[in-house]
């Protein structure tokens, strides 16, 4: 397993991992229409290519887990202020969970954020996400508060849980 910064050769693999991971995580929580909207808006190849090419302090680019040149995990984050980083995305191929891949990706994203002076790290997890919540809690993230789900329309009333840990 190799953890590295993604380049343009990895865009299709990132799109597949994020799409498959999103479906696997949220099929029992979100409506089909909502899932399709999020995938269309965030995990399309053009957006991912742009996010791979244009990394910054606010978006550190994608880190990927590669096995035999296949993307089996992808994640990214950035700084949300001078001292706080955030995990924006972290997905694995559904059949690759519980192998330590997510932990390795989280470490890569965290290291990148620490380079910018992060002393704390945030993540949003959908209420009811029994894949993400135990993972982040095991990594030292502590629940802070609930808020309206990102990218949600009023009629869905999806709730996001905000977690934070000290670095």
Q: How many domains does the chain have?
A: 1
Distances (CA, A) of 105 to 24, 75, 82, 111, 128: 19, 6, 22, 10, 23
Q: Which two tokens stand for residue 159?
A: 């709730």
* Burial class (CB within 10 angstroms; exposed 0-12, middle 13-18, buried 19+) of 165: middle
Please tell me the predicted confidence (pLDDT) of residue 148: 78
Check residue 96 and give its pLDDT: 95
Residue 69: CATH number of its domain: 3.40.630.30
Residue 76: predicted pLDDT: 97
The whole domain housing 118 covers: 2-166
Q: Tell the residue number behind the tokens 């993400």, with chain if given.
A: 132
Distance CA 156, CA 5 (A): 35
Is the pTM above the cut of 0.75?
A: yes
pLDDT in tens, the chain (167 residues): 999 999 999 999 999 999 999 999 999 988 899 899 999 999 999 999 999 999 999 999 999 999 999 999 999 999 999 999 999 999 999 999 999 999 999 999 999 888 999 999 999 999 999 999 999 999 999 999 998 766 655 566 788 999 999 99
Nearest to residue 108, comparing CAs of 87, 125, 93? 87
- pLDDT number for residue 153: 58
Rounded distance, CA 18 to CA 12, Å?
Answer: 10
pLDDT at 159: 87
């Amino acid at each position: 397993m190799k953890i590295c910064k993604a380049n343009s050769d990895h865009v299709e693999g990132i799109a597949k991992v994020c799409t498959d991971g999103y479906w696997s995580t949220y099929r029992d929580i979100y409506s089909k229409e909502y899932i399709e909207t999020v995938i269309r808006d965030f995990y399309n190849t053009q957006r991912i290519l742009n996010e791979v090419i244009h990394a910054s302090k606010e978006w550190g680019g994608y880190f990927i887990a590669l096995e035999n040149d296949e993307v089996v995990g992808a994640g990214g984050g950035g700084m949300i202020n001078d001292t706080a980083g955030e995990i924006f995305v972290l997905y694995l191929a559904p059949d690759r969970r519980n192998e330590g891949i997510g932990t390795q990706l989280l470490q890569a994203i965290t290291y990148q954020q620490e380079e910018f002076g992060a002393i704390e790290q945030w993540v949003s997890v959908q209420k009811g996400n029994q894949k993400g919540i135990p993972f982040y809690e095991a990594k030292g993230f502590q629940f802070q508060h609930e808020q309206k789900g990102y990218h949600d329309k009023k009629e869905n009333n999806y709730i996001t849980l905000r977690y934070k840990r000290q670095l």
